Amino acid sequence: MFLDPKELRGQIESDVTSLLYGLAALALLVGMIGIANTTLVAVMERRNEIGVRRAFGARRRHVATQFLTESAALGTIGGILGTSIGIMAVVIIATTRDWTATLNPLYTLPAPTIGLSTGLLAGAQPAWRASRIAPVDALRAQ
């Protein structure tokens, strides 16, 4: 039993596409863990700053917003850098092999937004944790 070459090519393309989507999802998960870890370390290292801000009248939402903004910025920058590196890799490989590089903007333009949402999602728990730090406990722990 032999497959039609066109049908075989379609199956292989479908399998490769599925594999690449899986790798992209894995990369997003690893990036999310990295952002969450970085934000959590920032919260732990800046307990005194959080305590001083809270003692001077900053509300919990102000502290949470600060750390959510930082994690969202990390995610957005990561999305932009990752997309830029990916585009450069496609262009370099295509030019070295004398191919024509084709890039679909529908796949590249949403990357900063995906990075932003990944950063917000990853930073939610550390930001919530930072907002729950009591000023007295933070200042006492010096």
pLDDT tens figures, 121-132 = 999 999 999 999
| pLDDT tens string 71-93 | 999 999 999 999 999 999 999 99
| Those residues with Cβ within 8 angstroms of residue 32's Cβ, 6 or more apart along the chain or in another chain | 118, 121, 122
Amino acid symbol at 101: A
| pLDDT tens string 7-38 | 888 899 999 999 999 999 999 999 999 999 99
pTM score: 0.82
Instruction: Indicate the pLDDT class of residue 107, thresholds 50, 70 and 90.
Output: confident
Spatial separation of the C-alpha atoms in residues 112 and 124, rounded to whole Å: 18
Amino acid symbol at 2: F
User: How many Cα atoms occupy the beta-carbon half-sphere of 53 within 13 Å?
Assistant: 19
DSSP 99: P
Instruction: Indicate the pLDDT class of residue 67, thresholds 50, 70 and 90.
Output: very high
Domain housing 12: 5-140
In the chain, how many domains are there?
1
